[in-house]
Structure 1
Amino acid sequence: MRLFTALWPPAEVVSALVAATGEPPSGWRAVDPASWHLTLAFHGEADPGVLARRLDRAAAGLAAPKLRIAGAGSFSGVRWAGVQADAPERLSHLVTAAGGDPAEFVAHLTVLRRQRRPGRGADHVPSAPWASHEGPWWRPQEVLLMVSEPAKGGSRYRPVHRVPLAGE
């Protein structure tokens, strides 16, 4: 199973970002907003039971940061919306608990992906209409261990384990 650990934004955060994104540019496809998430760590092929137990020990009861969507950026073939934390150290603790490296972590939600065959006239790195968007603050209630299943049009995600976080 291909696994990753993530935080899922609430519906009002997703709706606000959807309103700021607009139509995808030529040669790019929009990622389904229902699958927008903040990946804390990618685990690849792994045993979900082992990872769930490890996540329980490391993340249960950690203080959840307040987060909001703010800014934009890109990786090769990806345009993303940035995620800002009110207490960056809390987000770093969650990344570490999930098995990620805070030094390499870039807090983001993937919004656009380059099409496999972008065609002539495709934007190489399109603008991000949401770059100036500052979404509502939210506090994640849980860390999710997710399985990524290949599907036509992109991967499908489903939770296999949940770990509750502490509020303030």
Structure 2
Amino acid sequence: MARLFSAIVPSPEAVADLAEHVPGHLPDGAAEIKLRWTPPDRWHLTFGFFGDDDSEQRRTKWLHRRATGLRAPTLRLAGAGSFPGVLWIGVVEETAGESADAMRKLAVAAGAGRRPYRPHLTVARYQRGQHAKRVIGGLVDQLADYRGPAWTPSDLVLFRSDLSSGSPVYAAVHRVELDA
């Protein structure tokens, strides 16, 4: 089964910096909640999730039409938090002036949906349970002050996520170049 999603990939510098700050060990209680770190080569900022019944060709045209000509925001990975089952690093926009709303415009064009959009990068997944609040809370506290280098993405990517091997394998289907 393959699923499509739109995303921005952080710069190599942003990935390297975050990789230095994410704990390299599993904290006490991690086995109980089945904590699994997301490998840095899969780190991305998802904007739109399109599911597994979407046509690549149709979605490519749709994304290209909506995102072409949009200004690239200047972004920074900063802070940490969690959703049920997900430990994440936050994303802040550092774009100034007329382009200060570039992140929101890009998210809307890329299919962020009707729910409020919370830009984030997933660094770990876990199974919810009694011990999750303590373990994940400790990791959020540990990463709360994280502030990585700023970067400006060059493109928005439509990815295919193939789940047939158990772990997702991402492949770029289409790239829409963003204006600097």
TM above 0.5 = yes
Q: 2:26 maps to what in 1?
A: 24
1:80/1:48 CA distance change after superposition, 3 Å:
same
TM-score normalised to structure 1 length: 0.89
TM-score normalised to structure 2 length: 0.83
Q: 2:113 maps to what in 1?
A: 101
Q: 1:113 maps to what in 2?
A: 125
Q: 1:2 maps to what in 2?
A: 3
C-alpha deviation, 1:24, in angstroms: 3.1
1:102/1:9 CA distance change after superposition, 3 Å:
farther
> Unpaired segments of 5 or more residues in structure 1?
none
Q: 1:14 maps to what in 2?
A: 15
Q: 1:125 maps to what in 2?
A: 136
1:68/1:151 CA distance change after superposition, 3 Å:
farther
Q: 2:172 maps to what in 1?
A: 159
CA distance in 2, matches of 1:70, 1:6: 18
Q: 1:37 maps to what in 2?
A: 44
CA distance in 1, matches of 2:8, 2:147: 18
CA distance in 1, matches of 2:61, 2:177: 13
CA distance in 1, matches of 2:114, 2:94: 16
Q: 2:152 maps to what in 1?
A: 139
Q: 1:149 maps to what in 2?
A: 162
SS at match of 1:144: strand
CA distance in 2, matches of 1:103, 1:91: 15
Q: Residue 91 of structure 1: which of 103, 107, 115 is its match? A: 103
C-alpha deviation, 1:93, in angstroms: 0.8
> Unpaired segments of 5 or more residues in structure 2?
none
1:121/1:91 CA distance change after superposition, 3 Å:
closer
Residues 91-143 of structure 1, C-alpha deviations (whole Å, 9 max, x = no match): 11111111223752111000011159x8x966553423222111000001000
Q: Residue 76 of structure 2: which of 65, 68, 75 is its match? A: 68
Q: 2:58 maps to what in 1?
A: 50
Residues 3-28 of structure 1, C-alpha deviations (whole Å, 9 max, x = no match): 00000001110110011111232231
* Contact map agreement 1:95 1:102 (CA 8 A) in 2: no
CA distance in 2, matches of 1:81, 1:2: 23
Greater percentage in helix: 2
RMSD between superposed Cα atoms in Å: 2.1
Percent identity between the two aligned chains: 38
CA distance in 1, matches of 2:57, 2:67: 15
Q: Which runs of 4+ in 1 moved over 4 A?
A: 120-124
